[in-house]
Structure 1
Amino acid sequence: MTRSPYQGIDARAFWRTGMAEAAYPPPDLYRPRWELTKTDRIVTAGSCFAQHVGRALRRNGFNVLDAEPRPGHIAPEDGPNHGYDMYSARYGNLYTTRQLRQLIEEAWGSPRDFDAIWEKDGRFYDALRPNIEPSGFASAEAVKAERAKHLEKVREVFGQADVFIFTLGLTEAWLHKPSGQVYATAPGTIAGSYDPEIHAFANFRTAEVKADLEAALARLKALNPALRVLLTVSPVPLTATASEAHVLTATTLSKSVLRAVAGEMQADHPEVDYFPSYELVTSVKAGGAWFEPNLRSVREASVAQVMAVFTRAHLGDAAAPIEAVEETPSEDRAARRAERQERKAAREERRAKRRK
């Protein structure tokens, strides 16, 4: 008698028993590929959602490295406005795998020749992390000096890492056409000015995203062959798109590409694992209730549930209860400022296209 290949497999493999009739979040959603211990030295980077991962790990006593800690003269609530208390170094949000690749290449001696310093009202900004000083630096020389110190810390922290946690956020980016260098934000939003002759919009395809991630991880593993990698995909939608598509379809395309790359990396590399934060927040069972009214910001209570799934999978009953943390006013202001800047960039891009 012929048996169905689906007979005898786990209940988690079926939509009815794994989702429709299961508690939410599903208790057996995430099965770690490798053990994460409290002695592992962890480096975090990626889009803004990666900050939640690092915060939850620290709360549970994990060893999350911070090579550029907040200095004492900056209050804790102001740390994120200056690039502190966010990731394992002061690189700010790394939205794309191209940003990650280029950061690693620059840190280990392969910088590109491009307009790396932006000016606004007599102040100077690092074009690759313009958010780290709200009022900019006093001189271009000060920007260069700070970046040199930053790259030294990048080399230091990645050289120590046992585990690298990276959150993939976007496929869309702005770049410097002569060099191919990708910016963290569109020129002209925080500082500098947009010039269609030298700046271009890019929407990286699946093969490009994967090639960049492969190259970055290969460079890191050459330094540290035992490095393990945990990938996540940010559930936060695009604030705006420069692709001329509707923001909903642009978001769906971007997240689909990133999720596909994460899945292929997990399948191709035994040291790479994937944690489904994206699915937890955006599934039909979560619905819009897991987002703030703007349907973009993830509620702190939702973040707490996502990270509880992660820590319980690794620590079991020893995981600390994760409570929702109220967003500080400075973080809220920073988020609103970023959204305004992105909307401004989208308007300027549309005007530039009409002028052509």
Structure 2
Amino acid sequence: MAIEVIPAEQAWATYRRNTLARWPTREQPDRLSPLAAPQARQVFGLTGSERVFCIGSCFAREIENALVALGFDVLSVMREFPRSPNRQRSDRGMLNKYNTATILNELRWAFGEGPAYRHEDVLVGLPGDTLLQDLQLSGPWYAEEPVHAHAFRDAFNAFFRRIAEADVVVLTLGLSEVWKDAATGLYLNHAPTEAMVAAWPGRFSLHVLDAQETLAQLEAIDALLGRHLRPGWRLLLTVSPVPLWSTFRDQDVLLANTYSKAVLRTCAEQFTVGRPHVSYFPSYEFVTLSEPALVWREDDFRHVDPRFVDLIMASVMAQYGLGGGAPAKLLADSRDRVLRRAPGAGQAVGWRARWQRWLYRLGRWRRDRRTAQAARLAARQVQGHVERWDGRWLTGWAFDPQSARPVPVQLWLDGELVAERPAADERADVAQAHGPAALHSGFRLDLDALLPASRRPGAELVVQAGPLRLKTLSLGEAPVGPLDARQAGA
């Protein structure tokens, strides 16, 4: 079915009037090389005073940073979340929503439509395990004890309800490979672990969404926002240029990523037709059509360099005419910063070009040296993970890439060393992921046997592998009850 039917007279009139209708040539490459400058149709205006809420993949966090720098009131910037001794890195990644299905889940819970949010549906733990994973957020990366997992989720739900205060919602579409939990009927934001798949055969499945289902989810998101946001709200829609990190399909990830982005871009185009409150901005096209050396961060080929994100947002601001003449200067300055990453891509000539090229190479050499030093340091560091804890047995792995000797796993109870055991059990799965040095890296500790019987309820237990703190646990709290039939996949 056609998304638009345009009479021939109108189509030809549009072609003659549209200065952007023809593909750039090598004689006039400015709009394409080295920096693409795609122009999307502007269907509504902005003043710069709007309150903004960003939803989507990791690229949405980059958009947030750029909008904050431009002076917008960004409601989705994370503030004051409950801390846990186990989360040593930033919680911003917890907000990443990679697919339309789980964005729809969060909105339904936030606005109280459909089945109510329940911890027992969302926070998943293996049978007998007291560490819970939120597969609607970041899954095993933030496995937590129930008290911390529940506190974070309650705070996150309250935080997400702030979207009702937004004037503008920025929705970034990420990927089309989505996992589903048959026990709860929920699509997931993170893949279930192999241990979960083994514990509950048939419970989880991978869904490769098509355009029809993705579009239906977008329409449901739009309807929810329309019912609960204030009149005059607007939606800025974009497709994340960040490619898939990996695929679970039996094909090259390069092909899987092309399919995923094609579906999302198709749905974005179809969704905007006939919706005057929705505007598409072409961050995906900015990235994919520009010179790669100017786009990607220097540590990978997936994440967009912050200077390029600034260029994208400056282009959006210039298109919407925010701030009088300032956006034009902002856009020019942003282009200059990006072009300085690769002298010779711009128009500089002579001694100035040679000087810039020398500075660029010097800076690149320094960055490469720092990266190599960091890699060597990381290679010398102990690696490990606590996988399970059922109140008695503590299971995990730890190894030192620079030593064949087992890493000592220490238990510190309220700051006092009470036990030490080597991580020496054979773990073929860890060796497969981390190399031969990790073959004898497993440990399984009986806390009843190792900890003093006189330990106080709620005592803090720190699990340490050499110099690496693996986990901080609280002892003596009420155990997690058995999974109900629905959660267990019955």
TM-score by length of 2: 0.57
Equivalent runs, 1:199-214 vs 2, <5 Å = 199-214=204-219
Q: Contact 2:82–2:155 (CA<8 Å) still a contact in 1?
A: no
Q: Contact 2:239–2:282 (CA<8 Å) still a contact in 1?
A: yes
Name the CA shift for 1:70/1:17 in 2 (closer, same or farther; >3 Å).
farther
Hey, what does 1:55 align to over in structure 2? Answer: 65
Hey, what does 2:100 align to over in structure 1? Answer: 97
Hey, what does 2:347 align to over in structure 1? Answer: none
Q: Contact 2:179–2:188 (CA<8 Å) still a contact in 1?
A: yes
Hey, what does 1:281 align to over in structure 2? Answer: 287
- C-alpha distance in 2, partners of 1:67/1:261? 27
Name the CA shift for 1:145/1:248 in 2 (closer, same or farther; >3 Å).
same
Q: Contact 2:243–2:257 (CA<8 Å) still a contact in 1?
A: yes
What is the CA deviation profile of residues 296-333 of structure 1, one whole-angstrom value per residue up to 9, with x for unaligned ones?
22233332322221222232632345567x9xx9xx99
- C-alpha distance in 2, partners of 1:18/1:196? 57
Match of 1:127 among 123, 130, 135: 135
| 1:151 alignment partner, SS class | helix
Q: Contact 1:67–1:153 (CA<8 Å) still a contact in 2?
A: no
Superposition deviation, residue 153 in structure 1: 2.4
* 24-33 vs 40-49, greater mean Cα deviation: 24-33
Match of 1:34 among 14, 19, 44: 44
Superposition deviation, residue 217 in structure 1: 1.6
* One-letter amino acid of the counterpart of residue 187, structure 2: V
Match of 2:326 among 315, 318, 325: 318
* One-letter amino acid of the counterpart of residue 164, structure 1: V
Match of 1:138 among 135, 141, 145: 145
Superposition deviation, residue 292 in structure 1: 4.4
Name the CA shift for 1:207/1:4 in 2 (closer, same or farther; >3 Å).
closer
Superposition deviation, residue 37 in structure 1: 2.2
1:260 paired with 2:266, answer: yes
Hey, what does 1:16 align to over in structure 2? Answer: 24
* One-letter amino acid of the counterpart of residue 44, structure 1: C
Q: Contact 2:49–2:72 (CA<8 Å) still a contact in 1?
A: yes
Relative contact order (C-alpha < 8 Å, sep 6+): which is higher?
1
- C-alpha distance in 2, partners of 1:216/1:235? 21
Hey, what does 1:215 align to over in structure 2? Answer: 220
- C-alpha distance in 1, partners of 2:81/2:227? 32
Hey, what does 1:354 align to over in structure 2? Answer: none
Structure of greater Rg: 2
Name the CA shift for 1:186/1:20 in 2 (closer, same or farther; >3 Å).
farther
What is the CA deviation profile of residues 190-213 of structure 1, one whole-angstrom value per residue up to 9, with x for unaligned ones?
x85554410100111101111111
- Counting aligned pairs with the same residue, the percent is 28
Q: Contact 2:54–2:170 (CA<8 Å) still a contact in 1?
A: yes
| 2:271 alignment partner, SS class | helix
Q: Count residues in correspondence.
A: 318
Hey, what does 1:353 align to over in structure 2? Answer: none
What is the CA deviation profile of residues 78-115 of structure 1, one whole-angstrom value per residue up to 9, with x for unaligned ones?
99x4423x6xxxx5211111011111112233237764
Q: Contact 1:112–1:181 (CA<8 Å) still a contact in 2?
A: no
Hey, what does 1:160 align to over in structure 2? Answer: 165
What is the CA deviation profile of residues 149-183 of structure 1, one whole-angstrom value per residue up to 9, with x for unaligned ones?
3222222x121111100100001011102332122
Hey, what does 1:352 align to over in structure 2? Answer: none
* 116-125 vs 304-313, greater mean Cα deviation: 116-125
Q: Contact 1:280–1:286 (CA<8 Å) still a contact in 2?
A: no
Identify unmatched segments of 5+ residues in structure 2: 1-8, 339-366, 376-382, 384-428, 434-490
Hey, what does 2:463 align to over in structure 1? Answer: none
Superposition deviation, residue 23 in structure 1: 3.9
Q: Contact 2:122–2:134 (CA<8 Å) still a contact in 1?
A: yes
Superposition deviation, residue 44 in structure 1: 0.5
Equivalent runs, 1:44-123 vs 2, <5 Å = 44-66=54-76, 68-70=78-80, 81-84=89-92, 92-109=95-112, 110-111=115-116, 115-119=121-125, 122-123=130-131
Equivalent runs, 1:160-199 vs 2, <5 Å = 160-188=165-193, 195-199=200-204
Name the CA shift for 1:213/1:4 in 2 (closer, same or farther; >3 Å).
closer
Q: What is the RMSD of the two structures over their aligned residues, measured on CA atoms?
A: 3.7
- C-alpha distance in 2, partners of 1:19/1:175? 50
TM-score by length of 1: 0.76
Q: Contact 1:50–1:167 (CA<8 Å) still a contact in 2?
A: yes
Equivalent runs, 1:297-316 vs 2, <5 Å = 297-314=303-320, 315=322
Superposition deviation, residue 289 in structure 1: 4.7
